[in-house]
């Protein structure tokens, strides 16, 4: 039986820290160049937190904006899900830290670890709580402070990532309106785990002077292999979700892919046969902010008028794990 309610994004906001780190800046500390970074990744600059600024701080600044925009009373928020791989600390969860900072006294919540798919997996999870009637106003956050887990001396990774936060407010709408989340598909494949990971600091390799010495507390990546997998799977899952809902790529108003590499985005775009104006890109300014890329793109797209009520929007992600997925929705405001 079809559910009588759908969940819909009724507001979106983002926050990126003020400090800009350009490719030129990075070329002062590692052997790289603006030309190499731009041609291989599409990235021109990224943002970086100031000392002491944690994931919860970025998230709270985005949340304050979305609550204001949607005129939502924080006491009405009943659920907070935070997609992140850079929580303030191992525990308590960043959801608890955020709940306390914003004073959401009637909310429960948790962190969700799915790397660059963190936001989409969180959105799909919140969707289930809304559809079942257990949540009426959920905050779905994607936030990462990648500068906290990157080796600034490793040119293979330090040029790729940035810090940022995005958030959406998810609320129930009557199914008959045909707005909101239509479908999602999520996948994991743990066999790719070692290709993109941070091996130290968990129960397998608790922090010791040796794990620090071996640089186990920073991101390790086999870029080429990750690239190949990302290109194939993000396009495949996008085609699958369109097809099973009876849509063609040309029905999509805006494709919002995870921002890991402009060449990955362009390859998916080509496979889907979409023109540039239907593809959201902000990697040039913000680099890969992991969980924050998709919600920050949505906030920008809505603000710039690139999506309007009723438009079909396709979201697609790929990340460490491997994790990947797609979400199809009709924009609701
Ligand atoms: C990381 C990535 C940009 C590298 O691009 P690439 O075209 O695959 O480049 P390669 O790995 O072939 O590296 C080519 C050379 O550039 C060098 N290189 C790596 N980083 C460099 C940098 N920042 N500046 C200059 N040279 C660099 C490499 O050492 C290599 O040198 P070598 O041939 O002497 O060994 C690309 O593989 C990528 O984006 N992968 C996916 C990453 C991703 O999306 N991760 C997140 C998933 S959510």
Asked whether residue 228 falls in the same domain as residue 320, the answer is yes
* CATH number where 320 lies: 3.40.47.10
> Is residue 116 annotated as a catalytic residue, yes or no?
yes
Q: What is the DSSP letter of 331?
A: -
Asked whether residue 254 falls in the same domain as residue 171, the answer is no
Closest residue (by CA) to atom 39 of ligand 1? 261
The pair of three-digit structure tokens given for residue 223, joined into one six-digit string: 């870029």
- Picking from 134, 153, 177, the residue at the C-terminal end of a domain is 177
Residues with CB under 6 A from ligand 1: 32, 36-37, 40-41, 116, 155-156, 159, 221, 223-224, 226-227, 230, 260-261, 288, 318-319
Asked whether residue 134 falls in the same domain as residue 184, the answer is no
> Is residue 288 annotated as a catalytic residue, yes or no?
yes
- Ligand 1 centroid to Cα of residue 87, in Å, is 27
Write down the catalytic residue from 96, 116, 197, 297.
116
Report in angstroms the alpha-carbon separations of 232 from 83, 269, 308.
Answer: 24, 12, 30
Asked whether residue 155 falls in the same domain as residue 200, the answer is no
Closest residue (by CA) to atom 19 of ligand 1? 156
Report in angstroms the alpha-carbon separations of 179 from 116, 155, 170, 171, 327.
Answer: 26, 44, 12, 11, 13
Asked whether residue 184 falls in the same domain as residue 35, the answer is no
Asked whether residue 267 falls in the same domain as residue 294, the answer is yes
Query: What pLDDT is stored for residue 114 in this prediction?
Result: 98
- Ligand 1 centroid to Cα of residue 221, in Å, is 10
* Residues spanned by the domain of 119: 5-177
Low-confidence ranges of the chain (pLDDT < 70): 1-3
Spatial contact of 28 and 147, defined as CB atoms under 8 Å apart: no
Dihedral, CA of residue 83, residue 88, residue 91 and residue 94, to nearest 10? -40
Could you read off the pLDDT of 150-184 as tens digits, one per residue? 999 999 999 999 999 999 999 999 877 889 999 99
Taking alpha carbons only, the member of 205, 216, 200, 221 closest to residue 322 is 221
- Ligand 1 centroid to Cα of residue 11, in Å, is 36
How many independent structural domains does the chain possess?
A: 2
Where are any strands of DSSP class E within the chain? 5-15, 19-22, 45-48, 79-83, 108-112, 138-145, 163-174, 180-188, 196-197, 220-221, 254-257, 312-319, 323-330
The pair of three-digit structure tokens given for residue 252, joined into one six-digit string: 């999509």
Asked whether residue 220 falls in the same domain as residue 173, the answer is no
Could you read off the pLDDT of 23-38 as tens digits, one per residue? 999 999 999 999 999 9
- Picking from 138, 162, 177, the residue at the C-terminal end of a domain is 177
- Picking from 177, 211, 245, the residue at the C-terminal end of a domain is 177
Q: Which helix (H) or strand (E) holds 123?
A: helix 118-131
Q: How far apart are the first and last CA of the chain?
A: 27
Spatial contact of 65 and 141, defined as CB atoms under 8 Å apart: no
Query: What pLDDT is stored for residue 178 in this prediction?
Result: 86
Asked whether residue 164 falls in the same domain as residue 193, the answer is no
Residue written as tokens 């790929």? 318
């Amino acid at each position: 039986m079809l559910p009588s309610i759908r969940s819909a994004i009724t507001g979106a906001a983002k926050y990126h820290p003020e400090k800009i780190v350009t490719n030129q800046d990075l070329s002062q500390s590692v052997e790289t160049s603006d030309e190499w970074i731009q041609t291989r990744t599409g990235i021109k600059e990224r943002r970086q937190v100031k000392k002491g600024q944690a994931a919860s701080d970025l998230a709270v600044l985005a949340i304050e904006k979305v609550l204001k925009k949607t005129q939502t009373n924080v006491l009405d928020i009943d659920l907070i899900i935070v997609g992140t791989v850079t929580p303030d600390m191992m525990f308590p969860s960043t959801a608890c830290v955020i709940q306390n900072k914003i004073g959401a006294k009637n909310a429960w919540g948790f962190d969700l670890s799915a790397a660059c798919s963190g936001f989409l997996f969180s959105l799909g999870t919140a969707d289930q709580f809304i559809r079942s009637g257990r949540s009426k106003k959920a905050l779905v956050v994607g936030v990462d402070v990648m500068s906290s887990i990157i080796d600034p001396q490793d040119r293979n990774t330090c040029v790729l990532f940035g810090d940022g936060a995005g958030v959406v407010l998810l609320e129930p709408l009557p199914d008959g309106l045909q707005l909101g989340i239509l479908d999602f598909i999520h996948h994991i494949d743990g066999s790719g785990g070692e290709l993109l990971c941070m091996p130290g600091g968990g129960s397998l390799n608790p922090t010791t002077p040796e794990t620090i010495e071996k640089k186990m507390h920073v991101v390790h990546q086999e870029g080429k292999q990750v690239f190949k997998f990302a290109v194939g799977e993000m396009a495949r899952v996008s085609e699958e979700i369109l097809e099973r809902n009876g849509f063609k790529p040309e029905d999509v108003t805006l494709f919002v892919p995870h921002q890991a590499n402009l060449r990955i985005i362009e390859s998916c775009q080509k496979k889907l046969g979409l023109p540039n104006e239907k593809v959201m890109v902000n990697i040039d300014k913000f680099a890969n902010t992991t969980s924050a890329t998709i919600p920050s793109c949505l906030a920008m797209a809505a603000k710039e008028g690139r999506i309007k009520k009723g438009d079909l929007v396709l979201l697609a992600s790929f990340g460490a794990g491997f994790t990947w997925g797609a979400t199809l929705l009709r924009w609701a405001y």
